[in-house]
Amino acid sequence: MISPRKKREKLDARTFLAAKQMTLAADAAMSSWTSEFDEYRKELGHKEKPNTSKQDVCLHLECLRCKQRVAEPDDLKQHEQRLHVSQITEFLFMGNADQSNSIQELKFDSCITAILNVSYEVPNKVVLVYNSLEGNYKHLPIDDTEEFKIINFFEEASKFIEEQRLNSTTTTPRILVHCRAGVSRSATIVIAYLMRYHKYSLLSALTLVRSRRSIVCPNNGFMRQLKEYEHQLASPAHHHHSVS
Protein backbone atom coordinates (compact mmCIF):
# COMPACT_ATOMS: atom_id res chain seq x y z
CA MET A 1 0.00 0.00 0.00
CA ILE A 2 1.35 3.44 -1.03
CA SER A 3 1.80 5.84 1.82
CA PRO A 4 0.16 9.31 1.71
CA ARG A 5 3.60 10.89 1.41
CA LYS A 6 4.45 8.80 -1.67
CA LYS A 7 1.11 9.67 -3.21
CA ARG A 8 1.74 13.39 -2.65
CA GLU A 9 5.23 13.23 -4.18
CA LYS A 10 3.87 11.35 -7.21
CA LEU A 11 1.09 13.92 -7.63
CA ASP A 12 3.55 16.81 -7.39
CA ALA A 13 5.74 15.21 -10.08
CA ARG A 14 2.78 14.79 -12.42
CA THR A 15 1.64 18.39 -11.77
CA PHE A 16 5.14 19.74 -12.49
CA LEU A 17 5.37 17.70 -15.72
CA ALA A 18 1.95 18.89 -16.86
CA ALA A 19 2.81 22.49 -16.08
CA LYS A 20 6.09 22.23 -17.98
CA GLN A 21 4.33 20.75 -21.01
CA MET A 22 1.76 23.55 -20.94
CA THR A 23 4.52 26.17 -20.79
CA LEU A 24 6.35 24.62 -23.73
CA ALA A 25 3.14 24.48 -25.72
CA ALA A 26 2.37 28.11 -24.93
CA ASP A 27 5.87 29.19 -25.97
CA ALA A 28 5.53 27.28 -29.24
CA ALA A 29 2.15 28.81 -29.91
CA MET A 30 3.44 32.33 -29.20
CA SER A 31 6.45 31.80 -31.45
CA SER A 32 4.22 30.56 -34.24
CA TRP A 33 1.79 33.47 -33.77
CA THR A 34 4.63 36.03 -33.79
CA SER A 35 6.05 34.54 -36.99
CA GLU A 36 2.64 34.55 -38.68
CA PHE A 37 2.02 38.16 -37.58
CA ASP A 38 5.38 39.28 -38.99
CA GLU A 39 4.51 37.65 -42.30
CA TYR A 40 1.12 39.35 -42.25
CA ARG A 41 2.75 42.77 -41.66
CA LYS A 42 5.11 42.20 -44.57
CA GLU A 43 2.23 41.33 -46.85
CA LEU A 44 0.49 44.58 -45.94
CA GLY A 45 3.68 46.54 -46.50
CA HIS A 46 3.93 47.71 -42.90
CA LYS A 47 7.33 48.74 -41.63
CA GLU A 48 8.53 49.18 -38.11
CA LYS A 49 8.97 52.82 -37.11
CA PRO A 50 12.64 53.65 -36.57
CA ASN A 51 13.75 54.21 -33.01
CA THR A 52 14.31 57.94 -33.37
CA SER A 53 16.07 59.61 -30.50
CA LYS A 54 15.76 63.28 -29.57
CA GLN A 55 19.18 63.94 -31.06
CA ASP A 56 18.15 62.29 -34.34
CA VAL A 57 15.14 64.62 -34.52
CA CYS A 58 17.23 67.68 -33.73
CA LEU A 59 19.69 66.80 -36.48
CA HIS A 60 16.94 67.83 -38.87
CA LEU A 61 17.35 71.46 -37.71
CA GLU A 62 18.86 73.30 -40.63
CA CYS A 63 20.19 76.82 -41.13
CA LEU A 64 18.01 78.41 -43.79
CA ARG A 65 20.90 80.41 -45.23
CA CYS A 66 23.78 77.94 -45.56
CA LYS A 67 21.80 74.67 -45.13
CA GLN A 68 24.16 73.41 -42.43
CA ARG A 69 22.53 71.01 -39.96
CA VAL A 70 22.90 71.34 -36.19
CA ALA A 71 22.03 69.15 -33.21
CA GLU A 72 20.10 71.48 -30.88
CA PRO A 73 17.99 74.67 -31.16
CA ASP A 74 20.55 76.60 -29.09
CA ASP A 75 23.28 75.41 -31.46
CA LEU A 76 21.29 76.83 -34.37
CA LYS A 77 21.07 80.25 -32.69
CA GLN A 78 24.81 80.26 -31.93
CA HIS A 79 25.58 79.10 -35.46
CA GLU A 80 23.51 81.91 -36.99
CA GLN A 81 25.09 84.62 -34.81
CA ARG A 82 28.61 83.31 -35.39
CA LEU A 83 28.43 82.76 -39.15
CA HIS A 84 25.62 85.01 -40.37
CA VAL A 85 24.51 88.59 -39.92
CA SER A 86 21.43 89.04 -37.72
CA GLN A 87 18.27 90.47 -39.25
CA ILE A 88 16.85 93.15 -36.95
CA THR A 89 14.11 94.52 -39.22
CA GLU A 90 13.07 93.83 -42.79
CA PHE A 91 15.93 95.99 -44.09
CA LEU A 92 18.36 96.33 -41.16
CA PHE A 93 21.07 93.81 -40.23
CA MET A 94 23.85 93.56 -37.64
CA GLY A 95 27.09 91.62 -37.81
CA ASN A 96 30.76 91.28 -36.94
CA ALA A 97 34.09 91.74 -38.71
CA ASP A 98 34.23 88.27 -40.29
CA GLN A 99 30.71 88.51 -41.67
CA SER A 100 31.33 91.97 -43.09
CA ASN A 101 34.30 90.64 -45.07
CA SER A 102 32.68 87.50 -46.45
CA ILE A 103 31.53 87.67 -50.05
CA GLN A 104 29.52 84.49 -49.51
CA GLU A 105 27.66 86.01 -46.56
CA LEU A 106 27.15 89.49 -48.01
CA LYS A 107 26.29 88.69 -51.60
CA PHE A 108 24.74 85.23 -51.56
CA ASP A 109 23.50 84.32 -48.06
CA SER A 110 22.15 87.70 -46.92
CA CYS A 111 22.11 89.84 -50.11
CA ILE A 112 23.44 92.99 -48.37
CA THR A 113 23.07 96.20 -50.40
CA ALA A 114 24.86 98.70 -48.09
CA ILE A 115 27.37 98.62 -45.22
CA LEU A 116 27.91 100.95 -42.28
CA ASN A 117 31.20 100.15 -40.54
CA VAL A 118 31.21 101.63 -37.02
CA SER A 119 34.61 100.35 -35.86
CA TYR A 120 37.91 102.11 -36.17
CA GLU A 121 39.99 98.90 -36.40
CA VAL A 122 38.12 96.71 -38.93
CA PRO A 123 38.87 97.25 -42.62
CA ASN A 124 36.30 96.25 -45.24
CA LYS A 125 38.49 94.76 -47.94
CA VAL A 126 35.47 93.09 -49.48
CA VAL A 127 34.14 96.47 -50.60
CA LEU A 128 36.91 96.63 -53.18
CA VAL A 129 35.60 93.54 -54.99
CA TYR A 130 31.90 93.67 -54.17
CA ASN A 131 30.70 96.04 -56.89
CA SER A 132 27.15 96.20 -55.54
CA LEU A 133 28.42 98.24 -52.57
CA GLU A 134 29.91 101.02 -54.68
CA GLY A 135 28.60 104.26 -53.22
CA ASN A 136 26.71 102.37 -50.50
CA TYR A 137 29.47 102.15 -47.91
CA LYS A 138 30.27 104.38 -44.96
CA HIS A 139 32.95 104.10 -42.27
CA LEU A 140 32.68 105.83 -38.88
CA PRO A 141 35.76 105.31 -36.64
CA ILE A 142 34.15 104.52 -33.28
CA ASP A 143 36.03 103.09 -30.30
CA ASP A 144 34.39 100.62 -27.91
CA THR A 145 35.18 102.38 -24.65
CA GLU A 146 32.79 103.86 -22.11
CA GLU A 147 34.44 107.28 -22.45
CA PHE A 148 34.04 107.48 -26.23
CA LYS A 149 31.42 110.03 -27.36
CA ILE A 150 29.42 107.75 -29.63
CA ILE A 151 26.47 110.12 -29.28
CA ASN A 152 28.29 112.49 -31.63
CA PHE A 153 27.83 109.91 -34.42
CA PHE A 154 24.14 109.10 -33.86
CA GLU A 155 22.76 111.62 -36.34
CA GLU A 156 25.29 110.92 -39.10
CA ALA A 157 24.93 107.16 -38.79
CA SER A 158 21.15 107.23 -38.60
CA LYS A 159 20.93 109.54 -41.61
CA PHE A 160 23.07 107.16 -43.70
CA ILE A 161 20.85 104.19 -42.80
CA GLU A 162 17.65 106.09 -43.55
CA GLU A 163 18.95 107.40 -46.88
CA GLN A 164 19.94 103.88 -47.90
CA ARG A 165 16.49 102.64 -46.95
CA LEU A 166 14.68 105.33 -48.94
CA ASN A 167 16.98 105.61 -51.95
CA SER A 168 17.91 101.97 -52.56
CA THR A 169 17.72 100.86 -56.19
CA THR A 170 16.66 97.39 -55.08
CA THR A 171 13.13 96.41 -54.14
CA THR A 172 14.10 95.73 -50.52
CA PRO A 173 17.25 97.40 -49.18
CA ARG A 174 19.37 95.27 -46.85
CA ILE A 175 21.71 97.43 -44.77
CA LEU A 176 24.42 95.92 -42.58
CA VAL A 177 25.72 97.78 -39.52
CA HIS A 178 28.80 96.12 -38.10
CA CYS A 179 31.71 96.57 -35.71
CA ARG A 180 34.30 93.99 -34.63
CA ALA A 181 32.11 91.63 -32.60
CA GLY A 182 28.59 92.83 -33.38
CA VAL A 183 27.86 93.32 -29.69
CA SER A 184 28.30 96.91 -28.49
CA ARG A 185 29.05 99.61 -31.09
CA SER A 186 26.86 98.36 -33.93
CA ALA A 187 24.05 97.62 -31.48
CA THR A 188 24.23 101.15 -30.08
CA ILE A 189 24.01 102.69 -33.55
CA VAL A 190 21.09 100.47 -34.59
CA ILE A 191 19.22 101.35 -31.38
CA ALA A 192 19.85 105.06 -31.93
CA TYR A 193 18.54 104.77 -35.50
CA LEU A 194 15.35 103.04 -34.38
CA MET A 195 14.80 105.76 -31.79
CA ARG A 196 15.54 108.56 -34.25
CA TYR A 197 13.54 107.50 -37.31
CA HIS A 198 11.05 104.93 -36.08
CA LYS A 199 10.02 106.47 -32.74
CA TYR A 200 11.15 103.55 -30.58
CA SER A 201 11.83 104.14 -26.91
CA LEU A 202 15.26 103.08 -25.69
CA LEU A 203 13.76 100.09 -23.89
CA SER A 204 11.67 98.90 -26.84
CA ALA A 205 14.57 99.31 -29.28
CA LEU A 206 16.97 97.42 -27.01
CA THR A 207 14.39 94.67 -26.51
CA LEU A 208 13.88 94.28 -30.25
CA VAL A 209 17.59 94.15 -31.04
CA ARG A 210 18.31 91.63 -28.29
CA SER A 211 15.44 89.45 -29.42
CA ARG A 212 17.07 89.21 -32.86
CA ARG A 213 20.69 89.05 -31.67
CA SER A 214 20.96 87.75 -28.12
CA ILE A 215 24.66 88.62 -27.66
CA VAL A 216 23.96 92.37 -27.94
CA CYS A 217 25.30 94.34 -24.98
CA PRO A 218 26.20 98.05 -25.36
CA ASN A 219 28.81 99.11 -22.80
CA ASN A 220 27.70 101.21 -19.81
CA GLY A 221 28.96 104.45 -21.32
CA PHE A 222 27.00 103.86 -24.52
CA MET A 223 23.86 103.05 -22.54
CA ARG A 224 24.15 106.37 -20.66
CA GLN A 225 24.52 108.21 -23.97
CA LEU A 226 21.51 106.40 -25.44
CA LYS A 227 19.45 107.57 -22.45
CA GLU A 228 20.70 111.10 -23.04
CA TYR A 229 19.79 110.81 -26.73
CA GLU A 230 16.31 109.60 -25.81
CA HIS A 231 15.83 112.77 -23.73
CA GLN A 232 17.09 114.89 -26.62
CA LEU A 233 14.65 113.28 -29.07
CA ALA A 234 11.78 113.91 -26.67
CA SER A 235 12.63 117.59 -26.15
CA PRO A 236 10.58 120.36 -27.86
CA ALA A 237 13.79 121.76 -29.36
CA HIS A 238 14.40 118.56 -31.30
CA HIS A 239 10.82 118.44 -32.61
CA HIS A 240 11.08 122.07 -33.76
CA HIS A 241 14.38 121.33 -35.50
CA SER A 242 12.91 118.21 -37.21
CA VAL A 243 9.91 120.17 -38.55
CA SER A 244 11.98 123.08 -39.79
d(CA 27, CA 208): 66
Q: Is residue 219 part of a domain?
A: yes
Q: Is residue 103 part of a domain?
A: yes
Task: Tell whether pTM > 0.75.
Answer: no
* Between 238 and 150, residue with greater pLDDT: 150
**Range of 202's domain?**
87-236
State the catalytic residues.
179
Q: Is residue 205 part of a domain?
A: yes
- Measure CA of the first residue to CA of the last residue in the chain; give whole Å: 130
The CATH number covering residue 230 comes to 3.90.190.10
Q: Is residue 93 part of a domain?
A: yes
**For 171-212, what is each residue's pLDDT tens digit?**
789 999 999 999 999 999 999 999 999 999 999 999 999 999
**For 106-130, what is each residue's pLDDT tens digit?**
888 888 989 999 999 998 877 766 6
d(CA 176, CA 7): 98
DSSP assignment, residue 71? S
Q: Is residue 16 part of a domain?
A: no
* Distances 187 to 51, 164, 195, 213 between C-alpha atoms, Å: 45, 18, 12, 9
Task: Identify the pLDDT of residue 130.
Answer: 64
The domain tally of the chain equals: 1
Overall average pLDDT of the 8-21 stretch: 55
Q: Is residue 123 part of a domain?
A: yes
With contact defined as beta carbons under 8 Å apart, do 161 and 193 qualify?
A: yes
Q: Is residue 32 part of a domain?
A: no
Average pLDDT, the chain: 80
Nearest residue to 82 via CA among 96, 94, 92: 96
Q: Is the pLDDT of residue 52 over 50?
A: no
